[in-house]
Amino acid sequence: MKDIRFNISLYIIVPVIFAGIAILSIIVTYNTTTYYLAKSMAPLWPVVMWGVVLIAFTLICGLLIVKFLIDPVKRFVRKTKALEVVRSLPVPSVPNRVDDDMGKFAMVFDQVTELLSKVEARQLFPRIVGQSKAMRGVLNQIVKVAPEETTVLLIGETGTGKELIAQNIHRHSNRQDKPFVAINCAAIPEGLLESELFGYEKGAFTGAGSKKPGKFELADGGTLFLDEIGDMPLNTQAKVLRAIEENTIERVGAVKPIKINVRFIAATNRNLDKMVASDLFRQDLFYRLNVFSIMLPPLRNRREDIPLLADKLLNEMGKPMHVSSETLQLLMNHDWPGNVRELKNVLESSTVLSENDTITPSTLPFAFSRAVTGDLRANPDPEAPLPSLSSKGPENNFALDERIKKFERGLIVDALIQTEGVQVKAAALLGIKERSLWHRIKKYNIKIADFKR
């Protein structure tokens, strides 16, 4: 016999049940009242009895719904909270959160969602280190825009990994089997950029002994990444705009246009809006490129990624080394104006100076240590007197509040590293209560999960 089943949403079943109870109660009450009035009898007691039966029936229905719907949720929350990986996650800060059952359910669901989003980021983008919320937001944008044919503009400081993001957009697009061609517009002299982009015919200029295809042709069917687009000369911008709009190019010295099918991704570390206002960048090209823009966060806005980045960079260098907790504290306190590229250079320099398999503060470049800790920490002469607080001038400004915050954050990070993210042990190590530590972790936006082994 064929098993026929219909799947109906709970959003329909539960309201229908209670609506049916209400309709049934109205019908029975009306018929009972009409019957007793027709017999010239008072309908009070029959209606009261029916009300008691209705209340009991509604109560039983409510209990059944709780048992079959809420109990599984409670079991899930109870088992989830018992997992160490979930206990290590910070409690989401929700304004006006109520600590009842539903509030606790919502908190656990938020923690599980946070954990799953990190797992998804690692699986979809294994080459990108991005466990912070800022980077996961970027990865979500990549997932949305990659399958489309939309032109993408990547905006971010130097060293934030714009080319890596462009490669991942290509890798998750429908053009992943086609070429990915990158060109740095700032690295090529102005006179050669046009021939590099569009190619040239034999004899087009002195030294052109044979024809050469340009980057547009090489990327045909795939993706062309125009890095540092803000450094492109204005006359070349006009030709690039025409190529984007008409999907055709002309080699230098050629008379016949060539049809191309290319997806464009551009990147810049400049403020193109201001450049357009100053007539340093074509407005029409800016609007053509700025279809879907992605802002890449600087490293100082995602400090929780630094421990993972350090491990990944050391592995890529082929150096079986690890970073001491004191060094990691210094790395996380730095503002990193050069972003990931600067971090890589600092680690590479430290591996050269290190005499064992541990990177310690003493192996960090002197210029880096001075930039992180200031003259107080990086003074090469320990006997030299400290600057006087009464000294005037911006170079002797102590910025006391900022230094205290950095020092306190560094102590908390150091304690969490030593205790592998166990907050109870870290609080005992710091000599404060666990609740006080939790408030400070929340204040400094420290991610506990980054310290777990």
Structural domain spans, the chain: 10-82, 84-118, 133-296, 301-383+392-451
Report which listed range, 88-92, 103-107, 347-351, is most confident: 347-351
Average pLDDT in the 72-78 region?
A: 76
- To the question of domain 133-296 being in CATH 3.40.50.300, the answer is yes
pLDDT tier for residue 184 given thresholds of 50, 70 and 90: very high
pLDDT digits (tens, 9 = 90+) for 361-389: 888 886 676 666 553 343 444 344 434 44
Q: Which amino acid is present at 297? A: P
The CA distance from 320 to 312, in Å, is 11
Tell me the pLDDT of the chain averaged across its residues. Answer: 80
Q: What is the pLDDT of residue 81?
A: 66
Question: pLDDT digit string (tens) for 399-421?
Answer: 667 777 777 887 888 788 778 78
pLDDT of 157 higher than 90: yes
State CA 321 to chain mean position distance: 27
CATH class entry, domain 301-383+392-451: mainly alpha
